[in-house]
Each structure stands twice: as structure tokens, then as C-alpha cells.
């Protein structure tokens, strides 16, 4: 029989450093420190302590760190990831932590949620946006899944404070687009941090603007790169007010029922 340490080795490499009941950790030497515990320590106070009866969707759950934290607070969690490698870790960890009946892991592409007609009270969309070839489509799909709260996190390019863009620009007036602080999404054709799946790096203004245009209101920034948001489908720039047909053409026929 394998020891826990041997099983961890067998399931590696890990991105989440999970702390297991026997004191072992899955990725003790993480280059980002005790990740994502260091992020969770700052985010945790911004989410309800008691989540009994609440539902959570964790998009891009990886080995399940955030799913497990919300499940420990009583939530029923649906967790999806496109990677079978990470889902093997997540299922093993759920068993080891005794949380199997609280978290359901599914291998799914984010885009498959477009065919799902269901909302979850809390949706976590952490560390995924910039990995998508179609980031705004991903965000629009996620926004339709949000019942009360969305937590979104993205890699961002830090820089000048966000500009408040004017309501319109003349066709010939392109200089403002190049001003520091204009919402900007930088495309990475080759690699970023050695990872060819890092396609986009928004600046802070762009991340917030994308969120608003996906029909959400930004409530707060609990920590750097994280936004706490709530549904706002009638918001001034929400695409749900004026551009739903393009969304439905991209995701396929409207799904019926939950
Ligand atoms: C940087 S990790 C973030 C993990 C976790 N959410 C966190 O914040 O610690 C990105 C995760 O998203 C998953 N992912 C990337 N593209 C995806 C897609 N198109 N659909 C679903 N999951 C995806 C990856 O497999 C990976 O587990």
C-alpha cells in the first residue's frame, strides 16, 4: 500500500498546495509560496462563513482548493476543469479530506457551460480568463451562471490608474486608445511565464470593463487581481441588454430547463 506522500508524488505535478489531515502538503515548494492559501487568507473574510444550503460553481477548479474551502463552510459545490490530470488530484483529495459528498468534479470546458441553464449562488472564476482563446465569451458564459456573487481573478498588467472612458469617440480620434489607463487587453502570441496557454493579460481597467460588459457590477477588490461582483444584466454597458443574439449564435441553441 502506498503512503500519502507516495500518492502525492504519483499524482503530481501539483499547482495547489493542499494541506491534508495528516499534515502532509501536496506542493510544499510552490514557487508562489503556500499557494493558494495565501490568497484565500485575504479572500475568505469577504465570503459568508455559513454556506449551508448555498450552491457554488468553481470554474477551472484545478486540484479543488477553493471548492474544498467553500464545501467546509457547508456549500454544495460543482467544480469543473478541462484537465483530467488536475481532476484526478481533486477527486483523490476530496476522498482524503472526506468531502466527496459535498463537491462534484466534472471534466468540462468552460464553453460547455453555455448549454447549461442553471445559476449557482457563488461562482468562482479564478485564474482562468487569461487562459482562454475566447475570454469575453468565457466571461459572458460565466455571468449567466451567477446567482448572487461572482469572484473573478485574472493575471493583470499593473500600471496607470484606470481611465473613465468617454461614452463615445470620433472615428478619427484614436489617440485616447493609447493613453495609459485605457482598458487594454494585451495579446500574448508566444509565451508568458513559459506557458503557451497564457493568451491575454488585461490591465485593471480592462478586467473591470469586461466584467461590466458581461452584465456584472464590481462590488469590491478584496485583494490584488480579485474582483467581487454581482449580477447587473441591465447595467449601462451590459451586452445582455443589446447583444444576446451574438452570444446565442456562439454557444448554440438556448438550453431549456435546469
Ligand atoms: C491557473 S489555474 C487556476 C486554478 C484555480 N482556479 C486557482 O485559482 O487556483 C487554471 C485552471 O483552469 C483550467 N482551465 C484552463 N482552461 C480551461 C477551460 N477552457 N475550461 C475549463 N478549465 C480550464 C486549467 O486546467 C487549470 O486547472
pLDDT of residue 164: 86
Round to whole Å and give the CA distance between 175 and 169.
10
CB 97 within 8 A of CB 68: yes
User: Is the minimum distance from the CB of 128 to ligand 1 under 6 angstroms?
Assistant: yes
Reported as a pLDDT band with limits 50, 70 and 90, residue 253 is confident
Q: Cα of 135 to ligand 1 centre, how many Å?
A: 13
- CB-neighbour burial class of residue 94 (10 A; exposed 0-12, middle 13-18, buried 19+): buried
Strand order in the sheet with 146-153: 103-107, 76-81, 55-59, 120-126, 146-153, 226-231, 216-223
Round to whole Å and give the CA distance between 90 and 38.
19
pLDDT of residue 254: 72
User: Is the minimum distance from the CB of 206 to ligand 1 under 6 angstroms?
Assistant: no
DSSP bridge partners of 120: 146
Which has the higher per-residue pLDDT, 161 or 59? 59
pLDDT of residue 134: 98
Round to whole Å and give the CA distance between 196 and 152.
22
pLDDT of residue 67: 99
User: Is the minimum distance from the CB of 132 to ligand 1 under 6 angstroms?
Assistant: yes
What's the DSSP call for residue 108? -
- Which of the residue ranges 32-36, 160-164, 174-178 would you say has the lowest mean pLDDT? 160-164
Reported as a pLDDT band with limits 50, 70 and 90, residue 258 is very low
Amino acid at each position: 500500500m502506498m503512503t500519502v506522500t507516495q500518492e502525492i508524488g504519483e499524482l503530481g505535478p501539483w499547482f495547489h498546495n493542499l494541506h491534508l489531515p495528516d499534515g502532509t502538503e501536496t506542493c510544499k515548494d510552490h514557487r508562489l509560496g503556500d499557494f493558494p492559501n495565501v490568497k484565500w487568507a485575504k479572500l475568505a473574510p469577504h465570503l459568508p462563513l455559513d454556506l449551508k444550503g448555498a450552491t457554488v460553481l468553481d470554474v477551472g477548479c484545478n486540484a479543488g482548493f477553493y471548492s474544498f474551502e467553500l464545501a467546509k463552510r457547508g456549500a454544495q459545490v460543482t467544480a469543473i476543469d478541462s484537465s483530467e490530470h488536475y481532476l484526478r488530484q481533486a477527486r483523490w483529495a476530496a476522498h482524503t479530506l472526506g468531502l466527496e459528498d459535498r463537491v462534484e468534479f466534472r471534466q468540462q470546458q468552460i464553453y460547455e457551460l453555455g448549454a447549461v441553464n442553471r445559476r449557482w449562488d457563488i461562482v468562482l472564476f479564478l485564474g482562468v480568463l487569461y487562459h482562454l482563446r475566447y475570454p469575453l465569451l468565457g466571461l459572458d458564459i460565466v455571468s449567466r451562471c451567477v446567482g448572487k456573487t461572482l469572484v473573478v481573478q485574472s493575471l493583470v498588467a499593473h500600471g496607470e490608474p484606470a481611465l473613465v472612458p468617454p461614452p463615445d469617440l470620433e472615428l478619427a480620434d484614436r489617440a485616447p486608445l493609447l493613453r495609459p489607463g485605457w482598458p487594454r487587453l494585451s495579446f500574448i502570441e508566444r509565451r508568458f511565464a513559459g506557458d503557451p496557454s497564457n493568451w491575454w493579460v488585461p490591465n485593471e481597467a480592462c478586467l473591470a470593463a469586461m466584467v461590466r460588459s458581461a452584465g456584472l457590477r464590481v462590488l469590491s477588490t478584496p485583494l490584488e487581481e480579485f474582483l467581487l461582483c454581482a449580477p447587473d444584466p441591465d447595467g449601462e454597458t451590459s451586452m445582455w441588454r443589446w447583444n444576446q443574439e451574438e452570444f446565442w449564435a456562439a454557444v448554440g441553441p438556448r438550453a431549456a430547463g435546469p
